[in-house]
Structure 1
Amino acid sequence: MISNFFNLFKLSTWEYLMDSLFTVSTLIHLLDILVVWYVIYKLLSLLNSTKAIQVFKGIAIIIVIRIVSDFIGLNTVSWLMSQVITYGAIAAIVIFQPEVRRGLEHLGRGSMLRTSSKTVNYQEKLIDDLDEAIQYMSKRKIGALICIEKKESLKEYIDTGISLDANISNQLLINIFIPNTPLHDGAVIIKDKKIASACSYLPLTESSKIPKEFGTRHRAAIGLSEMSDAVTIVVSEETGGVSLALRDNFLPHIPRERYLAVLNEELVVPKIEDKKNALQQLLDAMKNSPKGGA
């Protein structure tokens, strides 16, 4: 009798929990919580390794003080913290301006908001020219910064430099970066299989994880990889080492085989043979089939 009672109690409790959990209202609340946690996670990821993370920690401490002071009855402290939180939103926009801009740019580059996209199929000749220029400059420790535009436009950075619109060749790339020449300082940007500009300025990363051994060229390459999908090549003028930055990743001091593999993977789109539809295949089969005798 008691066993049956407990079994009935368990069954009714389980059914009650299932009915309570799997309702439209509960699922909406669960979705709301997941969205908030995702936003917080992305915010922390965005602020990680930047100076702004310290300010964010300060704001978190103020919120904790506000909650604790309200709980134990420190009304004056609670009121002061409330004022700081209320007017801190405006201050946060000013303080976090670079991070806010970066976050909005990431949002604007999202696939849901992207109205059009392009894929430039850079040929193997570009890889060969880049390789010859890189090898020449690396052996002679000539500093270089070369960016290749992919789907996302680099026009705002092209406009900061000197327009060239020149055909790509390893000789031209080498001559641009020869020290003490007018165009050697800044970045070369390649767009639509041409050298769009030289002496362009790129955004510097604010990440604190970058070792101090890397200079302005490397920080600029990483900064551009945080803002776009471009592939950026850096040749160090101190060591002659070759580094790549792409998709918010930094590959320092990589060998020739590695950077060639990455460049071929990122820039050369494999050709795909056109596939005929079923109707066209049927028509071709009928055309090519032998005609039967009478």
Structure 2
Amino acid sequence: MPIWESLTNSSPAEILKNIVDVLLVWFVFYKLFTIIRGTKAVQLLKGIFVILIVRILTEFLGLDTLRWMMEQVLRFGFLAIIILFQPELRRALEQLGRGRLFSRSALQEAEERDRLIEAFSKSVSYMAKRRIGALISIERETGLSDYIETGIPMNSNVSSELLINIFIPNTPLHDGAVIIQRNRIAAAACYLPLSENPFISKELGTRHRAALGISEVTDAITIVVSEETGAVSITVNGDINRNLSMEEFENQLRTVWFGPEIEQTNTSLWKWGKRKNG
């Protein structure tokens, strides 16, 4: 076979160079996929694959007219991709400019994790003491873009002050869910699907049913503060943990969000960073 012959005739240095070349290409595609994951670009990407498959089939079946149409689509497809993927391309270039597209230090990730956990803890504690109802959903692997589109776009940094202000009663954004995407507040006043589980306790209201509903169809983590009792709950994977103390809330949020193995590393890196900056 030509490929086998080319490998046998190549020097070890050339083989290693080709392997590195292929790995780099796959890495670039992987990073691009992580950027567009959870956005409409994923659906558009599926459409492009369908067009490519149709183009191959037209060649195989000899459908000349349809093949010509697919060739025209592919010919102008590059310009269409730039137009359709404009937000994703802009975000990728911004991350590249910040030096964050291909690498991010463990210390930076640990600091960001601690900042987010602290913001959620402060806001939830404040709202629980004053019985301010809240519903916060955190995107993980499964994209929440469809639900983000039902709310008011924000694209803001996560802070305890902003979260508290959103859920203050009788304000324009308090009714609905806040969705966190890529460590930012993507939107507020979002509608989440209600759980249809008949075995849910009758004590649970609409917020808890919405939190369970989104956890049944996605892998999102959802935080609920009860308006009636001030109780704090977390839902994930169709399960709900109710009446959590603030210490339990913080520990469970850290565990389900970042994994139990992250906590020790997170603490040590945070302390090391403090010593270094101090």
**TM-score, normalization by structure 1:** 0.50
- 1:201 counterpart residue number: 191
Structure 1, unpaired ranges of 5+: 1-119, 273-294
Tell me which amino acid in the other structure corresponds to 1:142.
Answer: I
- 2:205 counterpart residue number: 215
Q: Cα distance, 1:257 vs. partner?
A: 1.8
Distance across 1 between alignment mates of 2:201 and 2:189: 25
**TM-score, normalization by structure 2:** 0.53
Question: What does 1:75-224 correspond to in 2, within 5 Å?
Answer: 123-224=113-214
Aligned length: 153
Work out whether 1:250 is the aligned partner of 2:240: yes
SS of the residue corresponding to residue 243 of structure 1 reads: strand
Question: What does 1:8-27 correspond to in 2, within 5 Å?
Answer: none
Tell me which amino acid in the other structure corresponds to 2:118.
Answer: D
Q: Cα distance, 1:197 vs. partner?
A: 0.3
Q: 1:44-96: CA deviations, max 9, x gaps?
A: xxxxxxxxxxxxxxxxxxxxxxxxxxxxxxxxxxxxxxxxxxxxxxxxxxxxx
Q: Cα distance, 1:217 vs. partner?
A: 0.2
Q: Cα distance, 1:268 vs. partner?
A: 3.2
Q: Cα distance, 1:213 vs. partner?
A: 1.3
Q: 1:154-184: CA deviations, max 9, x gaps?
A: 0010010000000110000000000000000
Q: Cα distance, 1:262 vs. partner?
A: 1.3
What RMSD in Å do the two structures reach over aligned CA positions? Answer: 1.6
SS of the residue corresponding to residue 128 of structure 2 reads: helix
- 2:254 counterpart residue number: 264
Q: Cα distance, 1:128 vs. partner?
A: 0.3
Tell me which amino acid in the other structure corresponds to 1:254.
Answer: L
Whether contact under 8 Å (1:124, 1:268) holds in the other structure is no
Structure 2, unpaired ranges of 5+: 1-108, 267-278
Whether contact under 8 Å (1:177, 1:183) holds in the other structure is yes
**Runs of 4+ more than 6 Å apart:** none
Distance across 2 between alignment mates of 1:235 and 1:210: 17
Q: Which structure: greater helix fraction?
A: 2
SS of the residue corresponding to residue 197 of structure 2 reads: coil
Bigger-Rg structure (1/2): 1
